[in-house]
Structure formats: C-alpha cells, structure tokens
Amino acid sequence: MIPAYTPVRVRTLDRVGPELCGHVYDVSEGGARFEVDEAIEPGSRVAMQITLPACGAPDSDASRDIFVMGTVVRLEDEDEPGPVRTAVIFTHFARSGDRERLLGQFATGRYRLAA
C-alpha cells in the first residue's frame, strides 16, 4: 500500500454527473481510499485517473497516470463537513502496463505501511 496524497479524477459510470477531482491517500494493487467533495454511493462503478508520484524525471514512465475501474465499497465520515472519504476496490486496470506501473511504485522501497 502506498500512503500518499496524490491527485485523482473520478467519474461515475452508473449515472451522469461531473468528473470529481480529489486526492488519493492510500492505494494498493486491489483498491484505494480517496477524498472528493461529493459522496459517491456504495455500489457505484467508477473510472479513476490516479497520478502516481514521480520516481525520476518528470516525463519518466513511472510518473504517468494510471487508469482503473472500480466499485465504491464504503464512505467514511460522510456527514462531516469537507471532502468525503471513499473506499473503492479495483475491478480492472484500463490500460496495458498500468498495473505494472503501480506495482513498480511499491518495488522502489520508498513506501512503508503506516502503523
């Protein structure tokens, strides 16, 4: 899992709505936790663009965005003011190489699971 605070763009696939911009604060091979300004109902299918932290040069392959599809599984603190924390499980990676790029981030050893 990468504890991070990196940009994310989220679009719901089950209903028409605006693209939501926010931040991912945990990401793993199987899912992520992120925050956006509007609640997305659990069970909703989403498409996500996650900007990975740069590992080297800004134009390196490792700094590219990854695109994933997923299903929202829960909301946290949805009644609190501010961004809504949301958990999603990934159902598949949208482009060839996105999964490997994410796993490559884990392999750098720069990230540790926070206790």
Q: What is the pLDDT of residue 111?
A: 56
Instruction: Give the domain ranges of the chain.
Output: 2-107
- pTM of the model as a whole: 0.80
Q: Is the pLDDT of residue 27 over 60?
A: yes
The fold adopted by the segment(s) 2-107 is Thrombin, subunit H (2.40.10)
Among 111, 11, 113, which residue's Cα sits nearest to residue 52? 111
Secondary structure in 3-state letters for the chain:
CEEEEEEEEEEECCCCCCCEEEEEEEECCCEEEEEECCCCCCCCEEEEEEECCCCCCCCCHHHCEEEEEEEEEEEECCCCCCCEEEEEEEEEECCCCHHHHHHHHHHCCCCCCCC
d(CA 84, CA 104): 29
Higher pLDDT, 79 or 39: 39
